[in-house]
Amino acid sequence: MRESPPASLRSLLRNVIRAALAEDVGAGDISSRASLPPRVFAHAEIAARQDGVVAGIRVARAVFRALDRRITFRPLVTEGASVRAGRALIRLAGPLYALLAGERVALNFLARLSGIATLTRLFVRAARPFRVTILDTRKTTPLLRALEKNAVLAGGGRNHRFGLYDAVLLKDNHIAAAGSLSSAVSRARRKLGAVPIEVEAQNLGEVKEALAARVDTIMLDNFPRHDLVRAMNLIGKRARVEISGRVNLSNVRRLARLRPDFISVGALTHSAPAFDVSMEILSTRR
């Protein structure tokens, strides 16, 4: 399982932030231009309005710096920090127009990424007593995958594969198209050599087939609990085990008690609630 984005986060940030600012600011903030005097300098603070885990500080910094290099940006917490409601997260100073122009884009990124980190931390805490690793999935927002997977890391989880290009995972459609699980594994080995192979098993028969094929990791996908227990007993230490499918905060601890190596949770990135965060102008001067 990977631990860091495959491409330059700096390059990704530049492209995503350029698009986000074009979407929100466009040709300029007409409300600020119409109501504010020119050349006003301001101090501002971004604060949490709920308890949770912070992620996306680097993204917020890049938003404001893209608008005006004169803005000073001082984080008051580190990425992955647990905070209480009311905690100041970031202090800013710079041209008021640029601060207001960047406010919503920066807060949107902070809300999305901190929400992912906060939800991830809850899953990690539930699984920690059983030494089970919580993984994310590819169920991410298009074009924001590296940012969202970085937020999973901030919450204490780990990253599964980043895309179709960096790990072999043979799923139900591969197996059906190849004719069998064994055929899919055999063909993958002939073409790729000695690379780690993970397969998705749908039933106990496919678990036995995966063991016979000597795969490295078996994903037990949407197994009923009684079959999960039987599958874990069959596998033993002969392969790593990943449990997947309909995992939530109500059942993750029960699944972790079975002591798989990994539990993958699509909800970390496709269903995380936004973290409540706000920016307030503290003072202005001309």
Task: Give pLDDT tens digits for 173-185.
Answer: 999 999 999 999 9
Domain membership of residue 241 (yes or no) is yes
Is residue 3 in a domain? no
Residues annotated as part of the active site: 104, 139, 171, 200, 221
CA distance 263 to 220: 10
Q: What is the H or E stretch that residue 226 is in? A: helix 225-235
Determine, yes or no, domain membership for 164. yes
Given strand 72-75, what is the order of strands in its sheet? 72-75, 88-95, 41-48, 277-285
Phi and psi based region of residue 219 (left: phi greater than 0; alpha: psi -120 to 50; beta: remaining): beta
Cα separation of 284 and 286, whole Å?
Answer: 7
Residue 80 CB neighbour total at 10 angstroms: 17
113 shares a domain with 18:
yes
CATH of the domain at 25: 3.90.1170.20
What is the domain-level CATH number for residue 172? 3.20.20.70
How many structural domains comprise the chain? 2
Quote the pLDDT of residue 8.
64
Does some domain include residue 1?
Answer: no
pTM value is: 0.94
Same domain, yes or no, for 185 and 113? no
pLDDT digits (tens, 9 = 90+) for 38-50: 899 999 999 999 9
Tell me, yes or no, whether 4 lies in a domain: no
Domain that holds residue 144: 124-270
As a whole number of angstroms, the longest Cα–Cα distance in the chain is 75
Tens digit of each residue's pLDDT, the chain (286 residues): 444 444 566 788 889 999 999 999 999 999 999 999 989 999 999 999 999 999 999 999 999 999 999 999 999 999 999 999 999 999 999 999 999 999 999 999 999 999 999 999 999 999 999 999 999 999 999 999 999 999 999 999 999 999 999 999 999 999 999 999 999 999 999 999 989 999 999 999 999 999 999 999 999 999 999 999 999 999 999 999 999 999 999 999 999 999 999 999 999 999 999 999 999 999 999 8
Same-domain pairing of 65 and 186: no
Statement to judge: residues 128 and 256 lie in one domain: yes
Q: Are 92 and 171 part of one and the same domain?
A: no
